[in-house]
Amino acid sequence: MSHDRMTRREFLRWSVVGAGSIGIAACMAAPPAALPSAETTGQNDEPDKASTQLVWWHGWGGPSGLAAMTAIEDAFNTGDHSFQIERVHVDEMNQKILVAIAGGTPPDIGVCCAQYAQLYSRNAVVPLDDYIDASIVIKRDAFVQGLFESMQWLGKTYGVPAIEAGPRYGIMYNNALIAEAGLEAANFPTTWDEMYEWHVALSKFDSAGNVSTIGFDPRDGTSRNGPATNIPQFWAINYGLDAWDSETLTFHYDRQEYVEALATIKRFYDYVGVEQMESLRSSTGTWVNTPSAQFPAGILATLNIGYYGPGELAINAPDKEFGVAWVPVPEARSGIKMQSVGGIPAYIPVGSKDPDRAFEFIEFLTTDAVQTPVFEATGWLGGRKEWYDPDLPRYAGRDVLRWYLQSVNEADEMWACPVIPIQAFVEDQREKTYAAVIFGEKTPEQAAIDMHTACTEELRNEFPDLVTE
């Protein structure tokens, strides 16, 4: 009987052995959970294809975005390729890809929506120049001017324009509100002084002084964005200021042009009242991708928005009619037509398990096989020049969109998107600077100097080897 019973010492010994075995087993590399078996995928006849699967993260969500991404995944996986793609929709991409790269478990391919410049400048993504030079699918000169430049850092290319790209600027206006105010679209303002007069004419208040309609919001749509790798800082370039010098790696926010731009923003806010404007925009929302946002809802009369504006408005404000015009410029630059084509890069994070195949998928993302279903689902254009012909059958009947396409050919100035290694910090400073000016906490002069100083110091702290002055 005594042989059948386990002593305490034996129990402890076996417990330790068992716990140690479990610990060792847990530490061993597990097979990738995402790897589907041939049985579950129904790919019995193609075991090699199913056994290699690359993971693709994308930040786009929403019904139309997900429909487009799913179509891409299906198109690739049913095509003639030596591997499969597993698509993963990732919210808060910036934070998650940062942790994934640092943890050594990045996706094999990433598209949208991260702080790309910060990844490029910290060697977190793979340089693609050799791949691009050897590619028969991707030729740099086949893409719209400026797109590849916005994916380069210190002479190396880290991304390829894929899925979404296009003109970022155009003032869309609500035909009914303009007619109601007795204004004519044919005389749409070309300078900010004229635009201010329209702003006054279009803004409406109730008897208690509460604003009910706003003429123009200088911080809605693409007026608010940048400087980023997919869109410049509108209020700087509109005044002719390239606030980031990519040659000398210096900022120019202390220039007079920026001071004047800030003063213009404030002027529009002052007429309505900053708290009134902030209240209205926060209560309704901005941009054009929800029906309740101030422009689709008919509360805002004019909006600076990219080429996707007409498509999204057709969905979110189908009962309204809109027109489009060139964005106004300051009096000193009167007559200049400015535009910028920004795009989203497809990139390969460092640590990707098969960069060669990952690039093959990136090549696929730039083809018609992808862009056609993407355009049908979302209205996004892509980066190839051939898609910017307004006379293509797919654009028939879309007059406002055709204006955007034509604007790429007619613009006097095509601004490239800047690659700033401290992009998030500069964008944060932009937001703080605008707020400090419109709330009257700082004068435009002081705000411009403070932003310049803050950005310069931050760059010096974060990249001491790059800053020479």
Partner 1 sequence: MGVATNRKFWAPRQQRELLKGLLFVSPWLLGFAGFTVYPILASLYYSLTQYDILRPPRFIGLANYHQLFFQDEVFRFVLYNTLYLVVIGVPAGVVTAFMVASLLNNEMKLRPLFRTLFFVPALVPAVAAAEVWRWVYNTNFGVVNSLLKWGGMSIIPFLSSPDLAKPSLILIHMWAQGTAIVIFLAALQDVPRSLYDAALVDGANLWHRFWNVTIPMCTPTILFVALTSMINMFQYFTIGWLLTEGGPNQSTEFYGIYLYRNAFLFFKMGYASALSWILFLIIVAFTILIFRASQRRVYYAGDGES
Residues 354-373 that bind partner 1 (CB under 8 A): none
Residues 108-127 that bind partner 1 (CB under 8 A): 115, 118-119, 122-124
The least CB distance from residue 141 to partner 1, in Å, is 32
Q: Does 10 bind partner 1 (CB under 8 A)?
A: no
Half-sphere exposure of 277 toward its Cβ, with a 13 Å CA cutoff? Answer: 22
Q: Out of 112, 126, 163, 280, point to the residue binding partner 1 (CB under 8 A).
A: 280
Helices 256-272 and 274-284: crossing angle, nearest 10°?
80
Residues 64-103 that bind partner 1 (CB under 8 A): 94-95, 98-99, 101-102
Q: Out of 283, 290, 334, 409, point to the residue binding partner 1 (CB under 8 A).
A: 283
Pick 64 or 230: Cβ nearer partner 1 = 230
Q: Does 461 bind partner 1 (CB under 8 A)?
A: yes
Q: Does 210 bind partner 1 (CB under 8 A)?
A: yes
Q: Does 425 bind partner 1 (CB under 8 A)?
A: yes
Helix (H, G, I), strand (E, B) or coil at 67: helix
The bridge status of strand 204-205 relative to strand 211-216 is antiparallel
Pick 327 or 436: Cβ nearer partner 1 = 436
Pick 13 or 394: Cβ nearer partner 1 = 13
The least CB distance from residue 126 to partner 1, in Å, is 13
**How far apart are the C-alpha atoms of 176 and 446, rounded to whole Å?**
40
Closest by Cα among 454, 448, 444 to 422:
454
Burial track 93-128 (b if 16+ CB lie within 10 A, e otherwise): bbebbbebbeeeebbbbbbbbbbbbbbbbbebbbbb
Q: Give me the 428-457 binding string for partner 1, x by CB under 8 A, dash otherwise.
A: x--xx--xx--x-x---------------x
**How far apart are the C-alpha atoms of 150 and 145, rounded to whole Å?**
10
Stretch that binds partner 1, among 27-35, 43-51, 78-86, 270-278 (CB under 8 A): 270-278
The first and second tokens of residue 447, run together, are: 């705000």
Q: Does 205 bind partner 1 (CB under 8 A)?
A: no
The first and second tokens of residue 280, run together, are: 């209205």
Pick 12 or 34: Cβ nearer partner 1 = 12
**How far apart are the C-alpha atoms of 257 and 333, rounded to whole Å?**
11
The least CB distance from residue 202 to partner 1, in Å, is 18
Contact yes or no for 213/299 (Cβ under 8 A): yes
DSSP class per residue in 115-176: -HHHHHHTT-B---HHHHHH-SS--GGGB-TTTTGGGEETTEE--EEEEEEEE---EEEEHH
Contact yes or no for 367/373 (Cβ under 8 A): no
Q: Out of 279, 290, 334, 409, point to the residue binding partner 1 (CB under 8 A).
A: 279
Where on the chain is the footprint of partner 1 (CB under 8 A)?
A: 12, 15-16, 19, 94-95, 98-99, 101-102, 115, 118-119, 122-124, 206-210, 275-276, 278-280, 282-284, 422, 424-425, 428, 431-432, 435-436, 439, 441, 457, 461-462
